[in-house]
Amino acid sequence: MDDGIEQHLAAGRHARAFDLLVPAYRDRVFRLSYSILKDRAAAEDAAQETLVRVWKALPGFDGRAALGTWIYAITRNTCLMELRRRRPQVSFDDPDSAEAQHAAESIATGPAEDPERDNLLRLLETLPRNQQEAVRLFYLEDRSYEAVAGQLGMPLGTVKNLLHRARKRLMELARPDEVKAA
Amino acid sequence: MNDPTLMGPCADYEHDLVELTDGALPRERAGIVQAHLAQCARCKAWTDAFAAFDARLATALPQPVLSPQFDARLRERIATLSRPATRGELRARLEHEHDDLIGTLARAARRRAVLGAAGSVAASLCVLVAMRDVLAQHAAQLQAVAGGAWVLPGALGALVVVGALAWSARAGTLPLLGFSR
């Protein structure tokens, strides 16, 4: 898929390369942004910003990294800047942080038709940030470990471990009464 | 208490069972794990519970999609960036850059001046303290030579030196102290 894009890039046809790149990457850039920002509108803005940055930087792309790796790195940076802009003092690794509380509240204020679903999402907010991101992205990417590893810029084994720990913990948290009874 | 899902799976198979549920286990290994599952009630119960939980989680998580206006919005932004800037935009951009540059230079000059002045005052005080000790040691000798008349001019001279150093640093002309960039 990237071959055609890279051929255009090598030939200096950046606008043509960008035209091919957008449909190939925009959804994945959006999903990666959503897994980090946890907000659809913010993720869409971040995807826009990422692709504009890609467009500006495309003439300088030297091909040392794979195109996807490069684009996902720009996406992650864009999202981290957005997180910093929102709350400069917050530690996002702390599940008790104001950000985590805010996110949990925003879920609680959503449609209360499915308390079990709300509870599951609230429990997800209690996990460390990197586990949350991996879990969100994993299900957005049709359970592809490779896609998650590529987009988060992590080795495959690390992603498998993150997902394993996260889901095992969630499963335990989702049935505390049963565990206590045991 | 006897619920096998609460005891967890066999440790050797736990990761494999998760990957099997995700459909990511290589075929050869999947065969071995499935053979184990067929004879291990604990692993079977845990895997069933995990699969049910996995399905619940997949349903619970939002599946957001891009808005239909995304491409049009992006094209518009790219078009704005691509078209040559008008004279007014160029002028505004240059003025903005100029203001930024002036602000940066002014901040750097202020910082240098404050550090320079503080450094020169501290250095002068150190010199005065050192001189005071020397003078105290030789006070009797000096008094015999000059009859005490050296004290006032000496103090005035020291004040002038301190003032000159501070003024010089404030003006940013004291590079020897190492505070200037």
- Residue-wise pLDDT for A61-107, tens only, equals 888 889 999 999 999 999 999 999 887 554 455 555 545 554 544 44
- Which stretch, A79-93, B41-55, B72-86, has highest mean pLDDT? B41-55
Q: Which two tokens stand for residue A76?
A: 């992650």
State mean pLDDT over B19-27.
Answer: 92
List A residues 120-179 in contact with B (Cβ-Cβ < 8 A).
120-121, 124, 135-136, 139-140, 143, 145, 160, 163-164, 167, 170-171, 174, 178-179
Residue B154, number of CB atoms within 10 A of its CB:
14
State mean pLDDT over A105-123.
Answer: 71
Check residue B69 and give its pLDDT.
94
Contacts of A55 in chain B (CB under 8 A): 78, 81
Residue A167 to residue B54, Cβ atoms within 8 A: yes
For residue B55, give the chain A residue with the closest CA.
Answer: A139
Of A13-27, A153-167, B29-43, B157-171, which gets the smallest average pLDDT?
Answer: B157-171
Which ranges in chain A belong to alpha helices (H)? 2-10, 14-37, 40-57, 67-86, 98-108, 115-124, 129-140, 145-152, 156-174, 176-181
Check residue B3 and give its pLDDT.
60
pLDDT band at A143 (very low <50, low <70, confident <90, very high): very high
Looking at per-residue pLDDT, the higher value among A96 and B112 belongs to B112
Residue A44 to residue B71, Cβ atoms within 8 A: no
Contact between A176 and A169 under an 8 Å Cβ cutoff? The reply is no
Q: HEC profile for B31-88?
A: HHHHHHHHHCHHHHHHHHHHHHHHHHHHHHCCCCCCCCCHHHHHHHHHHHHHCCCCHH
pLDDT band at B6 (very low <50, low <70, confident <90, very high): low
Residue A110, number of CB atoms within 10 A of its CB:
13
Does B23 contact chain A (CB < 8 Å)? yes
pLDDT at B167 over 50: yes
Residue A30 to residue B59, Cβ atoms within 8 A: no
For residue A157, give the chain B residue with the closest CA.
Answer: B15
Check residue A182 and give its pLDDT.
39
- Residue-wise pLDDT for A159-179, tens only, equals 999 999 999 999 999 876 544
**Percentage of chain B exceeding pLDDT 70:** 81
Residue A121 to residue B78, Cβ atoms within 8 A: no
Count how many residues are written for chain B: 181
For residue A30, give the chain B residue with the closest CA.
Answer: B66
Check residue B156 and give its pLDDT.
74
> At A114, is the secondary structure helix, strand, or coil?
coil
Q: Which of A48, A56, A117 sits opposite B74 (nearest CB)?
A: A48
Neighbouring residues of A88: CB distance < 8 A, sequence distance ≥ 6: none
Whole-structure pTM value:
0.66
Check residue A178 and give its pLDDT.
46
